[in-house]
Structure 1
Amino acid sequence: MGMVLGKITVETPKHEVLHTGAGYEIRRYPPCIAAEVTYDPKEMRGGDPDGGFTILANYIGALGKPQNTKPEKIAMTAPVITAGGEGESSENIAMTAPVITTTGAAAAAAAAEPEPVAMTAPVITEAQQTPGKVTMQFLLPSKYTKVEEAPRPTDERVVIREVAERKYGVVRFSGVAGDKTVKEKAEGLKAALEKDGYTVKGPFLLARYNPPFTLPPLRTNEVMIPVE
C-alpha cells in the first residue's frame, strides 16, 4: 500500500548537498557499484524498451531463481534512472532493480549455487553511441563497495562495474514523468545551472523513485544533469 501512496521504503543513494539554488540542488554522490546490460529494444519481445529489466531482475532473483553464483539477496533501492542524450526524449522505463552486466567469467560459475539478489535502484538507462542500443543500469546497495563483493552474474550480458564519484544539478518534481515534462524540466535546469556558472558535462538523467502503479501526484521524480 505504501508503494501505491508514494512511500519510499528502500535504500536510496547517499549524497552530499553542496549548494541549493533557485529550485535545484547541486549534489555529490560517492563511488558505488552498478550492474548494467546493453541491448537493442527491437530485439526484445514486442520491441519492449524495458526489456533489459528482465535480464537484470533475473540476476537479482526478483522473478524467480537468481541468475548469480552466491546465496545472498541484495536489497532493493531507488530511484530508477533513465539517461537520454541532448535533444532526445527520455525513455519511459518502469521501476526496476539493479542492472548488472557480467563478463564471460560468470559462465564458468554457472553451475554454482545461485545467490538471490534483492532488487536495488536506481536503474539507469542510457542511450549508446550505437544507434538503437540502450544500456540499463542498477546501482547496488551501499554494502557492496567493490566489484568483487557483488554476486557474480551467470548471464554474460550482465556486467558489474564501479561508478566513480559524480556531481549533479538536480530538480525534483511529482506526477507522470512524460517526455514533454521531462524535457521542459531538463531545459529549465540546464539554463539555471549555466546562469549560476556551472558547466554541464553531459546529457540529463531521469530518476524515478516509485513503481508505475504509484498514484501520479504522489510520485517522486528528479532530472539530474552532470556538472562541474
Structure 2
Amino acid sequence: MKNTLTLSLFFLFTLAAGSAVATEEPKFTSNLKEGAFEVRSYPALVAAQVSVTGTQDEASRAGFKLLAGYIFGGNTQRQSIAMTAPVVQSQPGSQTIAMTAPVIQTAIPGGAEGWTVRFIMPSKFTLDTLPTPNNAKVQLLELPPARYAVVTFSGLANEDDVAKRTAELNTFIDKNALRASGAPELARYNPPWTLWFMRRNEVHIPLAP
C-alpha cells in the first residue's frame, strides 16, 4: 500500500515445542457481524509508539525493534512485572512489560516512506503507571475510544491482498450506510514464521460515531 494507507501490524507469539502462550488483545464490543466482516467498538487504550522511515517492511522491523527494546527492559523502573505473553528472558534488574496486540504502523502524513509503529500496552497499565522509556524515540500516549469496520482473512497479507480486502471492506461500509473516518489498517495476528495458510489478518477502517 502507499503512504496514504494506515497499517496496523499485530504480532502474537508462541512457545517452542508447540506449547502456546495466550497474548492479551484489546477487548472490544461487536456491533455487527456478517461473515468475515464486523463492526467493533474499542475502549480507550494506552500505547507506546515510534516514528520510523523506510518501506512498509523496513519500518515494521525497525519500529518493532525499538518498541521491543522498551517492553523488554529499556525503561527506568527496577521492579519485575509479571509477563502475560510472550515468555521471555529479560535483562536482570530491569522491568519487563507484557507484549499485547495490536502493533500499529501508520503512514506519517506528508512523509516520504515515514511510519508510526505502535504497541498497545497491557490493560492493567495507565500512562501514570507505565515506566519511562530509556529511548527518547519511544512515546507513550492514550488512544481515545474508537469504532472500526473490520474484515478478516488469511494468507501473507501482501499489498495486493490488502488492496483487495480494503475494497471489499469499503463495499461493506457503503452497504450498511456507515461512514469511514480515517485510512485503512492492516492487522497481523501471527509471528512471521507461521505458515501462510494458518495466518490470521484483518483490515480495519475507523468509522465516524
TM-score norm. by structure 1 comes to 0.73
Aligned counterpart for 2:76 among listed residues 69, 72, 80? 69
1:57 equivalent in alignment to 2:42: no
Q: CA deviation at 1:16?
A: 0.2
Deviation track 1:160-182 (CA, whole Å, cap 9, x = no partner) reads 00011000011111121111111
* Pair 1:196–1:140, CA change in 2 (3 A): same
Question: Percent identity of the aligned residues?
Answer: 33
> Counterpart of 2:128 in 1: which secondary structure?
helix
Answer yes or no: is 1:143 the counterpart of 2:124.
Answer: yes
In the TM superposition, residue 121 of structure 1 has moved relative to its aligned partner by 2.1
Give the distance between the partners of 1:75 and 1:33, measured in 2 at CA. 17
Kindly tell me: are residues 3 and 180 of structure 1, through their superposed partners in 2, closer, same or farther at Cα, counting changes over 3 Å?
farther
What does 1:3-152 align with in structure 2 at a 5 Å threshold?
Answer: 9-21=22-34, 23-41=36-54, 48-49=58-59, 50-61=61-72, 66-70=73-77, 71-73=79-81, 75=83, 114-129=94-109, 130-144=111-125, 146-152=126-132
Q: Is the 8 A contact 2:36 2:153 kept in 1?
A: no
Distance 1:127 1:27 in 2: 22
2: distance between equivalents of 1:3 and 1:218?
16
Residue 164 of structure 1: aligned partner: 144
TM-align CA RMSD: 2.5
SS in 1 for 2:101: coil
Rounded to whole Å, the distance in 2 between the matches of 1:8 and 1:116 is: 16
| Equivalence for 1:104 | none
Conservation of the 8 A alpha-carbon contact between 1:22 and 1:192? no
Aligned partner of residue 118 in structure 1, secondary structure: coil
- Check 1:211–1:122 CA distance in 2 against 1; reply closer, same or farther (3 A cut): same
Output aligned runs, 1:206-225, within 5 Å.
206-225=186-205
Matched, 1:186 2:166: yes
Q: State TM-score, norm by structure 2.
A: 0.80
